[in-house]
A and B are shown apart, each in its own frame.
Chain A
Amino acid sequence: MQKVDLIEGFRNPEHIKALAELIKKEATHKINIMEVCGGHTHTIMKFGLPQILPQTIEFVHGPGCPVCIMPKERINHAIELAKMPNTILATLGDMIRVPGSQTSLQKLRAEGKDIRSLYTPLDVIKIAKENPEKNVIFFAIGFETTTPMTAVLLDTVIKEGIKNIYFHINHVTVPEAVDTIMGDGDAKIDAFLGPSHVSVITGYKIYEPIVEKYNTPVVVAGFEPTDVMESILRIVRQFNTGEKRFVDNEYARAVSREGNIKAQELINKYMKKREHFRWRGIGDIPKSALKLKDEYAAYDAEVKFKQVLPTQELDDHKACICGSILKGLAKPYDCKVFGKACTPSAPMGSCMVSSEGACSAYFKYGKLTAKGA
């Protein structure tokens, strides 16, 4: 097989500098760009892109981190499920670090509960087969990117007749969140960087209604620094040409208009929209999340273990300004508790809880200023 370079070419210093020069020259008016996805926030901060961009380009860090937007009551669900006897709770990534109202999955694991952090949802099959006497509950999280893997897992469970796997579904969807942020009128957002991996699954057609409704460009961008820089240039040029706004696709090496149809079909086979889902820091967004269809209720942990799941809704501390950060009305540094009472090891608000959150990225990569500033 021929080797394909997917990293170095997209970090070519000469290309990045050349793009920065073009943006400096062409971005004559202020543009607030929301990067919807936490992966982009990470790229922007890790590669220090604001330092090489002109003052006219301002980033607004969006709600696209699946761990950050999980309300505390859903984390409490995971905790109560993990406390049940004969249970293994499995989930992805840094979900296990995030505190609910009392404790986190990580702390519970240290107390002896069986909690697994997975690299891929399909590992649940192996865990269930090795532990036939236990119930394995998959606490499924993520945007459209990870949803197909959950659907594949359920598909496999049904086909293989595995009886000890249950699903607690927390999959959320991008367009409704963007619509909510734009819909209340305060948000200061002129354009969007569209998510990379989400769009691989959904196709870029899902952003067409947003452009139509709010007359804001959306440019689907890859995660590498040249991707982000090129996409910013494309946004600038959409404004400068003065024509009708449109969805542009910079990440054409992976994203099509229609997306991964097979993955979409699999999701639609097993899941449907929830009427309501509360997002941490934002509040209720109708039809912004998925659940298992009624005919698969036998696999639904929210049905099967309903009696142990708390129902109380829990908000973040009053001092937390995550809602304003997510709407582009404030920056992490504007928050009084940032880096003081709220840190990645003891997060108070949604933007600090995961490495993909805006506050966490600011905390980790910091702001380089002159000495003594």
Chain B
Amino acid sequence: MSKKILLSHGGGGEETQSLIKDLFFKHFENDILLKMEDAAALTMNTKRIVFTTDSFTVSPLFFNGGNIGKLAIAGTVNDLVMMGAKPKYLTCSFMIEEGFLFSELETIVMTMRDEMAKSGVLIVAGDTKVVPKGGVDGLFINTSGVGEIMVEGISAHNLKPNHSILVSNEVGNHGACILARREDIELETELKTDCASLWKPVEALIEAGVKVVAYRDATRGGLSAVLNEWAETSNVCLEVDEDKIPVAPEVKGICEMLGFEPYEFANEGTMVLCVEEGEEQKALDILHKFEETKKASFIGKVNDKYENRVILNTPWGSSRFLEPPKGELLPRIC
């Protein structure tokens, strides 16, 4: 019989120790973690740090191009990176449902290790809880992270007319991929999540001195949520061109079939950038060198036509407001 996680693995005794050593230490190994103190003592190279936390629940746990572990690392890393910070240390808590397969947990942990290697971040503290069957849906993960601010002044409050808006990749891939998997929608082509850590491309932008005003990863609520939040926090109008926003044909197909907008689908490795006027090409040239941002596109401008609104222009000369997403995503009927 295959090895399963039991309630005793969370009991604090011998089984807990063996789970920590045989699984978590084995894959997350680093000097700080292996000291096994009550808290991790950290050295930071900057005076100002960024600090964030996020909890991850996803059904299904495994999907095309990733799993919950990849999300848990990339998600928190990206939150730090979006502040112009170098991700340094993470904490990680697992809430595991009794009976969860050890082999699946190990696959998830190994994915986390590989994803951490991409940005050089380390897990320095952690916690494991095992809850009775039905207490959680398989596995929940929480990660918190700290990073060193490499460039000051990155903020969603600083958008001004004539700034330019870029998106780093196709939008909607993660949301569409999860939806297709959850609802058994069979596709003839491989649609993968965009899940990725964005430190490498952002580091390159910082090193090249590209004048970036704001970064935001377009997670839940998608591109539409980010654009609307920015319009509101900076009290400006964002005007984007529909034909410049990259959307994969499979995502367009799913959206047409079910009556969704790709701009409202979640992404897990796609960011929106606001750059100063004249910096667009410099930013794109750098982004296009990285696999995770090679489809980056300059999609529109900031202006003062309205306050707090986003305008979407069609290629045939009409336009509409892009409303922020509301409520549950429910498919159309006919």
Expressed in whole angstroms, the minimum distance between the Cβ of B15 and any Cβ of chain A is 33
CB-based contact B188/A48 at 8 Å: no
Chain B residues lying within 8 Å of A356, measured Cβ to Cβ, are 332-333
Q: Does A371 touch B at the CB level, under 8 Å?
A: yes
Known contacts A7-B256, A345-B326, A142 near B333 by CB under 8 Å: yes
* 7 further A-B pairs in the complex, CB-CB below 8 A; given A13-B315, A48-B318, A354-B333: A7-B252, A48-B319, A51-B319, A143-B334, A345-B326, A365-B320, A366-B323
Chain B residues contacting A92 (CB-CB under 8 Å) are 331, 333
The answer to whether the Cβ of B223 comes within 8 Å of any Cβ in the partner chain is no
B residues near A117, Cβ cutoff 8 Å: 328, 330-331
Tell me the smallest distance from the CB of A28 to a CB of chain B, in Å. Answer: 22
Once the chains bind, are B333 and A368 in contact (CB under 8 Å)? no
Give the chain B neighbours of A344 by CB distance below 8 A: 326-327
Q: Which residues of A contact B328 (CB under 8 A)?
A: 97, 106, 117
Q: Which of B252, B311, B316, B330 has the most CB of A within 10 A?
A: B316
Query: Which B residues between 292 and 334 are near A, CB-CB below 8 angstroms?
Result: 305-306, 311, 314-321, 323, 326-328, 330-334
29 contacts between A and B (CB under 8 A): A1-B188, A7-B253, A11-B315, A13-B243, A17-B317, A47-B318, A48-B319, A51-B317, A51-B318, A51-B319, A66-B333, A92-B333, A93-B330, A93-B332, A94-B330, A96-B330, A117-B330, A117-B331, A119-B258, A119-B331, A142-B333, A142-B334, A145-B333, A146-B333, A146-B334, A345-B327, A366-B320, A366-B321, A371-B305
Closest residue to B315 on the A side, CB-wise? Answer: A13
B residues 230-263 touching A (CB-CB < 8 Å): 243, 249, 252-253, 256, 258-259
User: A252 to nearest B CB, angstroms?
Assistant: 19
Cβ B333 vs Cβ A364 within 8 A: no
B259 touches A49 (CB 8 A): no
Residues of A within 8 A of B (CB): 1, 6-7, 11, 13, 16-17, 20, 37, 39, 42, 45-49, 51-52, 66-67, 92-97, 106, 117, 119, 141-143, 145-146, 197-198, 225, 344-345, 354-356, 364-366, 368, 371
| Residues 200-235 of B contacting A (Cβ, < 8 Å) | none
Is B152 part of the contact surface with A, judged by Cβ < 8 Å? no
Mark B256-297 against chain A: 1 for CB-CB distance below 8 A, else 0: 101100000000000000000000000000000000000000
> Is B183 engaged at the interface, CB distance under 8 Å to the other chain?
yes
B326, chain A: closest CB distance, angstroms = 7
A338–B101 Cα distance when bound, in Å, is: 53
Q: How far is the CA of A365 from the CA of B311 in the complex (A)?
A: 10
The 9 closest A-B pairs by CB, nearest first: A48-B318, A145-B334, A13-B315, A51-B318, A16-B316, A366-B321, A93-B333, A13-B316, A94-B330
* Chain B residues bordering chain A, tally (CB within 8 A): 30
Query: Which of chain B's residues has its CB closest to A356's CB?
Result: B332
Pair A39/B334 contact, Cβ less than 8 Å? yes
What sequence of 0s and 1s flags, for each residue 165-200 of chain B, a beta carbon within 8 Å of any chain A beta carbon? 000000000000000000101001000000000000
**A49–B320 touching, CB < 8 Å:** no
Complex interface: chain B residues within 8 A of A7 (CB): 249, 252-253, 256
Do A48 and B314 have beta carbons less than 8 Å apart?
A: yes
Q: Which residues in A have their C-beta under 8 angstroms from that of B334? A: 37, 39, 66, 142-143, 145-146, 197-198
Q: What distance in Å separates the Cβ of B331 from its nearest Cβ neighbour in chain A?
A: 5
Closest to B258 in A: A119
A49-B318, A119-B183 are known contacts. Are A93 and B327 too (CB-CB below 8 A)? no
B323 touches A364 (CB 8 A): yes
Contact between B253 and A48, CB atoms less than 8 A apart: no
A368–B321 touching, CB < 8 Å: yes
A52-B317 in contact (CB<8A)? yes
Structural contact, B330 and A97, CB atoms closer than 8 A: yes
Closest chain B residue to A93 by CB distance?
B333
Which of A42, A52, A354 lies in contact with B318, CB distance below 8 A? A52
Determine the distance from Cα of A137 to Cα of B330 in the docked complex, in whole angstroms.
20
In the complex, which residue of chain A has the Cβ closest to the Cβ of B330? A94
Docked CA distance A234–B321 (Å)? 30
A272 to nearest B CB, angstroms? 21
**Chain A contacts of B243 at CB under 8 A?**
13
Q: Which residues of B contact A368 (CB under 8 A)?
A: 311, 319-321
Tell whether A355 pairs with B259 under 8 Å between CB atoms, given A365-B321, A368-B311.
yes
Residues from chain B with a CB closer than 8 A to the CB of A146 are 333-334
List of A residues within 8 angstroms of B333 by Cβ: 66-67, 92-95, 141-142, 145-146, 354, 356
B316: chain A residues at CB < 8 Å are 13, 16-17, 20, 47, 52, 225
If A48-B318, A49-B318 touch, whether A93 touches B331 (CB-CB below 8 Å) is: yes
Bits for B148-159, please: 1 = Cβ < 8 Å to A, else 0.
000000000000
In the bound complex, CA of A117 to CA of B326 (Å): 17
Interface centre among B185, B243, B318 (most CB of A within 10 A): B318
**Beyond A48-B318, A119-B258, is A371–B330 a contact (Cβ under 8 Å)?**
no
- In Å, the complex CA distance between A93 and B260 comes to 12
Cα separation A242 to B330 with both chains bound (whole Å): 45
CB distance from A145 to the nearest CB of B (A): 4
Q: Which residue of A lies closest to B304 (CB)?
A: A371
B134 to chain A minimum Cβ distance, whole angstroms, is: 14
Chain B contacts for A11, CB-based, 8 A: 315
Contacts of A355 in B (CB 8 A): 259, 330, 332
- B179 to A, closest residue via Cβ: A119
Complex Cα distance A95/B331, Å? 10
Cα–Cα distance between A106 and B334 once the two chains are bound (Å)? 20
Which residue of B is nearest A201, CB measured?
B334
Contacting residues, chain B, for A94 (C-beta < 8 A)? 330, 332-333
Cα separation A66 to B259 with both chains bound (whole Å): 15
Q: How far is the CA of A47 from the CA of B318 in the complex (A)?
A: 7
